[in-house]
Amino acid sequence: MESLTDKQQQAKIESTSKLTEAEEKFDRRRRTTGWFLGPILGLLVFFTPIAGLKPEGHILAAIMTFVATWWICEPVPIPVTSLIGPVLAVLFGVVPAKAAFAPFADPLIYLFMGSFMIATAMMTHGLDKRFAYAILSMKWVGSSPVRIMLAVGLVTALLSGWVSNTATTAMMYPISIGLLMAIKDMYKANGEDLDLNTFKYATGIMLMTAYASSVGGVLTPVGTPPNIIMMGFLEQLAKVKITFFQWMVWGSIAMVLYFILMFIVLKQMFPAGITSIPGAEKLIADKRKELGPWSAGERNAVIAFSIAVILWVTPGILAIIYGSDAAILKTYGKYFPEAVVAMVAGLSLFVMPVNWGKRQFTLTWKEANKGIEWGTLILFGGGLALGSMMYTTGLSKWIGDAIVKTTGANSQVMIVTVFSILSLFMSELTSHTAATNMVGPLGITVAVSAGLNPIPVAVAIALASSLGFMLPVSTPPNAIVYASGYIPITKMIRSGVIIDIIGLALITIPLVVYLVTAVV
Q: Output the pLDDT for position 21.
A: 65
CA distances from 479 to 11, 206, 266, 449, 475 (A): 17, 11, 18, 38, 7
**Cα–Cα dist 70/40, whole Å:** 11
Residue 6: pLDDT band with limits 50, 70, 90: very low
Looking at this protein, which amino acid is placed at residue 241? K
C-alpha angle 142-148-150 in degrees, rounded to nearest 5 = 125
pLDDT tens by residue, 65-88? 998 888 878 898 888 988 999 999
Q: Output the pLDDT for position 366.
A: 92
pLDDT tens by residue, 100-120? 999 898 887 888 788 888 878
Q: Give the pLDDT mean for 47-64.
A: 90
Q: Output the pLDDT for position 436.
A: 87
Q: Output the pLDDT for position 7.
A: 41
Q: Are 395 and 57 in contact (CB under 8 A)?
A: yes
**Cα–Cα dist 214/391, whole Å:** 29
Q: Output the pLDDT for position 473.
A: 64
**Cα–Cα dist 422/353, whole Å:** 48
Domain extents for the chain?
1-94, 98-125+296-373
Q: Give the pLDDT mean for 185-209.
A: 77
Q: Output the pLDDT for position 20.
A: 57
Q: Are 420 and 504 in contact (CB under 8 A)?
A: yes
Residue 68's Cβ-side half-sphere holds a number of Cα atoms within 13 Å equal to 19
Residue 259: pLDDT band with limits 50, 70, 90: very high
Q: Output the pLDDT for position 5.
A: 39
Show Cβ contacts of residue 478 under 8 Å, excluding neighbours closer than 6 positions: 210, 468, 469, 471, 472, 492
* Residue 13 pLDDT exceeds 70: no
* Residue 181 pLDDT exceeds 80: no
Mean pLDDT of the chain: 82
pLDDT tens by residue, 294-331? 899 999 998 998 888 888 888 878 877 877 677 887 88
CA distances from 130 to 123, 172, 488 (A): 10, 12, 32
Strands 360-361 and 353-355: antiparallel
* Residue 466 pLDDT exceeds 90: no
* Residue 489 pLDDT exceeds 80: no
Q: Give the pLDDT mean for 151-166.
A: 86
Percent of the chain with pLDDT over 90: 19
Q: Which position has the higher pLDDT, 419 or 12?
A: 419
Q: Output the pLDDT for position 390.
A: 83
Q: Are 486 and 196 in contact (CB under 8 A)?
A: yes
pLDDT tens by residue, 355-398? 988 889 999 999 999 888 788 788 778 888 888 888 888 888 88
The pTM for the full model equals 0.74
Q: Give the pLDDT mean for 227-253.
A: 87
Using CB atoms within 10 Å of the CB of residue 24, give its burial: 0 to 12 exposed, 13 to 18 middle, 19+ buried: exposed
- Helix, strand, coil share (%) of the chain residues, nearest 5: 75, 0, 25
* Residue 4 pLDDT exceeds 60: no
Closest CA to 490 of 470, 506, 509: 470
Residue 80: left if φ>0, alpha if ψ -120 to 50, beta else—which one? alpha
CA distances from 325 to 2, 25, 232, 332, 456 (A): 61, 58, 22, 12, 22
Q: Output the pLDDT for position 3.
A: 35
pLDDT tens by residue, 389-430? 888 888 888 887 887 777 776 777 888 888 888 888 888 766
**Cα–Cα dist 32/154, whole Å:** 40
**Cα–Cα dist 37/3, whole Å:** 49
Q: Output the pLDDT for position 517.
A: 61
Q: What is the DSSP string of 163-214?
A: S-HHHHHHHHHHHHHHHHHHHHHHHHHTT----TTS-HHHHHHHHHHHHHHH
Residue 104's Cβ-side half-sphere holds a number of Cα atoms within 13 Å equal to 16
Using CB atoms within 10 Å of the CB of residue 67, give its burial: 0 to 12 exposed, 13 to 18 middle, 19+ buried: buried
Show Cβ contacts of residue 112 under 8 Å, excluding neighbours closer than 6 positions: 222, 225, 228, 342, 376, 377, 380
Residue 121's Cβ-side half-sphere holds a number of Cα atoms within 13 Å equal to 31
